[in-house]
Structure 1
Amino acid sequence: MSDLKDRVKQAAGAPEPAAPVTDLALKDSALQWLQSRATYFTDALPRHVDRAHFMSVALSVMPKLEKCTHDSVERAFLACCRYGLEPDGRQAAVIPYGNTATFQPMYQGYIELMYRHPAVDTVHFGWIREKDEWDYEPTAPSPRDFRHRPRVDLTDDERGKVILAYAFAWIGGHRSQVIILNRQQATEIRDKFSKGYAKAVREGKTDNPWQTSFDAMWAKSCVRRLVKVVPTSTELTELINADDDADTGSTTPPIIRGTVIARDDQPGTGEQQAPAASWPETAQPGASTPESGESA
């Protein structure tokens, strides 16, 4: 039957459908764009972060940033580099809002920065589900004040819905205060402090992280409270500020190793912010690579 259909198409002069190359072309052009800015990332990445791996992770998220301005994508990746966080959706994420790519640290990114303090031994984050065994007695001495025993004989669904998020750290052999946050408290944090969420509601949008990834924001809110009871650093303080800027939609340029990265849309540069643009044109497989003078 398929042979008959092919012969009918040929008889009618119907052309054979071209093999899809859009994804490959986008990947190639994104790679070219990233490689053209390799020195920016090399200078910004901490020594312990593998540059090749970071570039690979960055490339994997480029398809969803196709409609974002080059300038905003570069700023978002530079922010990831500044804190040594991979944009893998676990440590950090680069999220498109319209044509603007936005750096968004995740709860594991906060934990990663806590670990870098020499006094911090371990950091733990967990979820408590309805059928888990747990107990919390704030007046009891640490570490007997808190106990959580997950039901490992059950699946997550069988354990029931998540009811609490918690986090704590071991510092110099002593356990910190346990931070516990229930869903209602997370909702109150969202409603009271998230300007980005409030703006999305006003504008009738549904693309705010509190709307698309509530549990991830719940977890991050819990871990952010832990920052108040562990040894902190300038880097961790700057990450909180960058996180708050992302929530308010601020486009403040990131600080990379004490230097503010220049931006084309800053007053006094003589240039305006580039409009949303496609990525540099890339040759199709088997063709020569065209020259492109486009820059971010």
Structure 2
Amino acid sequence: MSELKDRVKAAAGGDEQPQQPPVTDLAVGDSVRQWLQRRETFFIEALPKGVDPVHFMSVAHALMPKLKDCTPASIHHALLACARFGLEPDGRQAAIIPYKEVATFQPMYEGYIELMYRHPRVDSVHFGWIREKDQWDYEPTAPSPRDFFHKPRVDLTEDERGRVVLAYAFAWIDGRRSQVIILNRQQAEAIRDKYSKAYRNAERKGLKDSTWHTDFDAMWAKSAVLRLRKVVPTSIDLADLLQADDDIDDTSSAPPVIRGTVIARDDQDGEQPPAGTWPETAQPGSRAHETDAEGGEQA
């Protein structure tokens, strides 16, 4: 018998016990998932027709660990804004960015392109980067579509093609190509310096945490696509997204109100957890009491 115990002990690595994952981390993960599952109906009902609700919620679930320190109310508001416009929070169509304890909805350039596509007169929307060694030409006075030409160097890697020198965007509308919007880095920086309050506030505070700081190329691309909106048919949704984007840039303390969204108030006990915390779960899989923080503004 003692020999058997010795073999079991040796197989287990002597006196050392296998490391177990922290129970509290799993409990918090369970609470986050439960919190989101209880609100799926609100987000799904806000989605426009044609947007796959299963895929949208799958993307939302994958995002939640990055937002674990944000207030539930701000996460609810940000996800509801994504759903309202039918944009996935995947970092391409839209992003949900944690600013300290506030989860903030941030539309990206692919989100604007998606909304432009939804207009019945818009056939297609194109965005691209021109690099130093690419072949390209732009002659504004030439008739469309001979005024613009871009041929990437497919025989070279992205790094070998050189640094990005221009962003461009255009659309095909009713079978005709729109004006080509071209934006160089200096123009993007001028737009940032003139129009972005979030950038200026971050610079003044020495934080450098605005999207212009953390993902300049994404904001450069969005600036080019935003200029394209002036030459494409504008829908109500696109106008609302532009207004929401402006409101987001104007504030750094609380998420703005997005027209057309409704903040749910389904907490049964009227309690709200402290900022940055989730409903307490004593053990993984337990049914400990949960509370909500849905104290956002209503549109």
Residue 206 of structure 1 and its aligned partner are, at CA, apart by 1.9
Counterpart residue type for residue 182 of structure 1: N
Residue 279 of structure 1 and its aligned partner are, at CA, apart by 1.6
Counterparts of 1:248 and 1:197 in 2: how far apart (Å)?
A: 10
Task: Give the 3 Å change call, closer, same or farther, for CA 30–4 of structure 1 in structure 2.
Answer: closer
Pairing 1:55-74 to 2, within 5 Å after superposition: 55-74=57-76
Q: Which residue does 2:255 correspond to in 1?
A: 251
Counterparts of 1:22 and 1:61 in 2: how far apart (Å)?
A: 19
State whether residues 44 and 81 of structure 1, in contact with CA within 8 Å, keep that contact through their aligned partners in structure 2: yes
Pairing 1:14-29 to 2, within 5 Å after superposition: 17-21=19-23, 24-29=26-31
Q: Which residue does 2:275 correspond to in 1?
A: 276
Q: Secondary structure at the match of 1:169?
A: strand
Pairing 1:114-133 to 2, within 5 Å after superposition: 114-133=116-135
Counterparts of 1:243 and 1:60 in 2: how far apart (Å)?
A: 24
Which residue of 87, 90, 107 corresponds with 2:89?
87
Q: Which runs of 5+ in 1 are unaligned?
A: 265-270
Q: Do residues 155 (structure 1) and 157 (structure 2) align? A: yes
Q: Secondary structure at the match of 2:150?
A: strand
Residue 276 of structure 1 and its aligned partner are, at CA, apart by 1.1
Counterparts of 1:35 and 1:104 in 2: how far apart (Å)?
A: 23
Q: Which residue does 1:105 correspond to in 2?
A: 107
Q: Secondary structure at the match of 1:255?
A: coil
TM-score by length of 1: 0.88
Q: Which runs of 5+ in 2 are unaligned?
A: 1-9, 295-299
Q: Secondary structure at the match of 1:122?
A: strand
Greater Cα offset, 192-201 or 42-51:
42-51
Counterpart residue type for residue 39 of structure 1: T
Identity of aligned pairs, percent? 64
Counterparts of 1:30 and 1:284 in 2: how far apart (Å)?
A: 14
Deviations 1:30-51 (A, max 9, x none): 2211111122112211121121
Q: Which residue does 1:292 correspond to in 2?
A: 290
TM-score by length of 2: 0.87
State whether residues 253 and 263 of structure 1, in contact with CA within 8 Å, keep that contact through their aligned partners in structure 2: no
Q: Secondary structure at the match of 2:159?
A: helix
Counterparts of 1:283 and 1:48 in 2: how far apart (Å)?
A: 40
Number of equivalenced pairs: 281
Cα RMSD of the aligned pairs, angstroms, is 2.5
Counterparts of 2:62 and 2:149 in 1: how far apart (Å)?
A: 39
Counterparts of 1:273 and 1:294 in 2: how far apart (Å)?
A: 5
Q: Secondary structure at the match of 1:240?
A: helix
Deviations 1:136-193 (A, max 9, x none): 0000010000000100111000100000000000001100000000000001111110
Counterparts of 2:185 and 2:26 in 1: how far apart (Å)?
A: 42
State whether residues 191 and 198 of structure 1, in contact with CA within 8 Å, keep that contact through their aligned partners in structure 2: yes
Q: Do residues 78 (structure 1) and 80 (structure 2) align? A: yes
State whether residues 170 and 176 of structure 1, in contact with CA within 8 Å, keep that contact through their aligned partners in structure 2: yes
Q: Secondary structure at the match of 1:276?
A: coil
Deviations 1:269-294 (A, max 9, x none): xx999751312233544x53322234
Residue 251 of structure 1 and its aligned partner are, at CA, apart by 3.1
Q: Secondary structure at the match of 1:86?
A: coil
Residue 16 of structure 1 and its aligned partner are, at CA, apart by 5.1
